[in-house]
Amino acid sequence: MIADPLLLALCLFGVMLLLLLSGLWIGFALFASGIAGMLLAKTNLPPTVSVWTKVGDLLANSVWNSLNSWTLSALPLFVLMGEILYRTAIARKLLSGLAPWLSWLPGRLLHVNVVACSLFAAISGSSAATTATVGKITYCELTARGYDKGLALGSLAGAGTLGFLIPPSLIMIVYGVLADTSIGQLFMAGIVPGLVMAACFSCWIVLRVLAKPELVPQRTEAYTWSHRLTALRDLGPVALLIALVLGSIYTGLTTPTEAAAMGVVGALGVAAWSRELSWQNLRAALVATVHTTAMICFIIAGAGFLSQVVGFLGLARKLSEAIAALALPPHALLLVVAVVYLFLGMILDGISMVVMTLPIVLPIMVRAGFDPLWFGIFLVIMVELAQITPPVGFSLFVLQHISGETIHTIIRHALPFFCILLLVTVVITIFPQLVFLLPQHMAR
């Protein structure tokens, strides 16, 4: 039995890390870590109550409370919307629709990666889906036209992460449920930082091409205003879906769950309009949605149980008191948390990072004076970094599958965009009003 809370917390983390490295499913690892914590702890239970009885009580209570949420029902709907769009021609039309409008910029069609990822992020909610969908269309087209492979890969790696920051975002839904924060407010808070990040990606492309013009083909595509206006027809379905989903949330007409349901109907309409709404595509989208949702919910249930155990054993309170006793300035504490998340990003996926750490980290950050809404956006950017952090960065594997390049090559080209993500983190820390701008404006 271990009586010291800090030693118990270290043992608990060690057990969790060992289980994860063993290849055990993340949900099982979370449940097993919680049970191990109860068995290792010295608890003051009544003589008539066994540890296993208390484990059963906490397990039943935590699973029900963590999954019995109307807000969480938006999750499978947004996943389904993204899966339906993934199997339609909408991504292919993005390239033809954006090319006439971006060809005048230094770097020309390389900016399609950034803008297409930003637009698709606003209707998919997933970084992996954004990277895969846009990458499958643009990478082969860009390399075939003579654009630099490295810059094409790097821009896809960076811009693909916008799937988590530009709403609707699966990570924001999970955070909102666990942190009891308005998902609509989180969606609004992510827009300005997401646009700033996209602008920074495009600026980097411009600077690279100005410094090294041979990165893009010397021939130029000639587009007239007639071409540009005609191209708007290809962008119409995306614009309508964004207006339908986000517009209904921001105007207060619907909740995020209702907007997600409308988005599914809209995605089915786009699929029917593009004549790709077949039973085979619909069945594949439904099966993929079930797989993804079950995986996420299993992780959330495991994290809910672990959170209950941590609360029951008093670990969160003791850790908060221990960190507060260090008397670190708020931004020094934030730096420590950022370094921890960068480390966790090397071994965990984004959702696991959020659900495993939030019960302990959020009370500490709120006590240090950080707003839960702002911290949610900060945490989303940390998850974005995890998407392109080796060895577990999922976007890296997606790009390897698309391009056939080695992971080492993709990491090297993604590094500048990784640094841009860190830069935007610094910017929203210095200027937090970028996060609060839209939520405060819409609340008036």
Identify the top-confidence range among 1-10, 249-258, 333-342: 333-342
The predicted pLDDT at position 391 comes to 63
CA distance linking residue 159 with residue 88, whole number of Å = 21
For residue 19, is it within any domain?
no
Q: Which amino acid is at 375?
A: F
**Alpha-carbon gap, residue 349 to 351, rounded angstroms:** 6
Residue 198 resides in a domain: yes
pLDDT above 90: residue 373? yes
Q: Please report which confidence band the pLDDT of residue 77 belongs to, taking 50, 70 and 90 as the band edges.
A: confident
In eight-state DSSP terms, residue 4 is: -
The residue that leads in pLDDT, 170 or 115, is 115
In a domain, 1, yes or no: no
Decide if pLDDT at 432 tops 80.
yes
The tens digit of pLDDT for each residue in 150-182 reads 999 999 999 988 988 888 888 898 899 888 898
Q: How confident is the model at residue 9 (pLDDT cuts 50, 70, 90)?
A: confident
Q: How confident is the model at residue 420 (pLDDT cuts 50, 70, 90)?
A: very high
Within a domain: residue 436?
yes
User: Omega into 100 within 30° of 0, i.e. cis?
Assistant: no
pLDDT (0 to 100) of residue 347: 64
Model pTM score: 0.76
Residue 403: band (very low, low, confident or very high) from pLDDT cuts 50, 70, 90: confident
CB 369 within 8 Å of CB 333: no
β partners of residue 2: 41
295 vs 189 pLDDT, higher one: 189
> Is there a domain that residue 316 lies in?
yes
What are the distances in angstroms from CA 258 to CA 61, 169, 184, 362? 27, 15, 12, 28
Residue found under tokens 């495993």: 356
Mean pLDDT of 194-213: 94
Residue 15 falls within a domain, yes or no? no
pLDDT the model gives residue 430: 95
Distance CA 34, CA 204 (A): 45
Domain count, the chain: 1
Q: How distant, in Å, are the alpha carbons of 58, 215, 335 from that of 211?
A: 60, 9, 33
Whole-number mean pLDDT of the chain? 83
- Find the mean pLDDT for residues 88-98: 74
Could you tell me if residue 38 is inside a domain? no
Q: How far apart are CA 50 and CA 33, in angstroms?
A: 18
Q: What is the pLDDT of residue 195?
A: 94
Handedness of CA 332, 172, 364, 38 (dihedral sign): negative
Q: Does residue 348 sit within a domain?
A: yes
Domain that includes residue 176, residue range: 70-444
Average pLDDT score over residue span 113-134: 79
